């Protein structure tokens, strides 16, 4: 669950429902960001119990900047909506 670039959906908190990507893991917590509210320079520290993990991973090039991260997460979000 702690692989860099893994995609999660926040299930609790102010950011509930938002897709985020894992940046790092430190002990019992993980650091996630979405490129907008939480940029790569200031990731959000969250309890993994408050995240829903997907079997989707972003590449290093998709996580090179906030803009690239937002674009990659938007594509994934659009794909999830069309699958419903």
Residue ranges and CATH numbers for the domains of the chain are: 6-83 (2.30.30.30)
Predicted pLDDT at 3: 85
pTM: 0.89
The CA distance from 48 to 71, in Å, is 24
Give the pLDDT band of residue 84 (cuts 50, 70, 90).
Answer: low
Query: What's the burial of 33, exposed, middle or buried (CB within 10 Å: 0-12/13-18/19+)?
Result: buried
> For residue 1, is pLDDT > 70?
no
> For residue 27, is pLDDT > 90?
no
The CA distance from 19 to 53, in Å, is 10
Mean pLDDT of 15-43: 93
Could you tell me if 81 and 17 are in contact, meaning their C-beta atoms sit under 8 angstroms apart?
Answer: no
């Amino acid at each position: 669950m702690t692989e860099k670039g893994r995609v999660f959906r926040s299930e609790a908190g102010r950011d509930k429902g938002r897709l985020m990507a894992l940046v790092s893991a430190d002990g019992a917590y993980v650091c996630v960001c979405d490129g907008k509210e939480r940029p790569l320079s200031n990731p959000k520290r969250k309890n993994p119990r408050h995240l829903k993990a997907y079997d989707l991973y972003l590449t290093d090039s998709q996580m090179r900047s906030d803009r690239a991260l937002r674009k990659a997460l938007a594509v994934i979000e659009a794909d999830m909506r069309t699958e419903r």
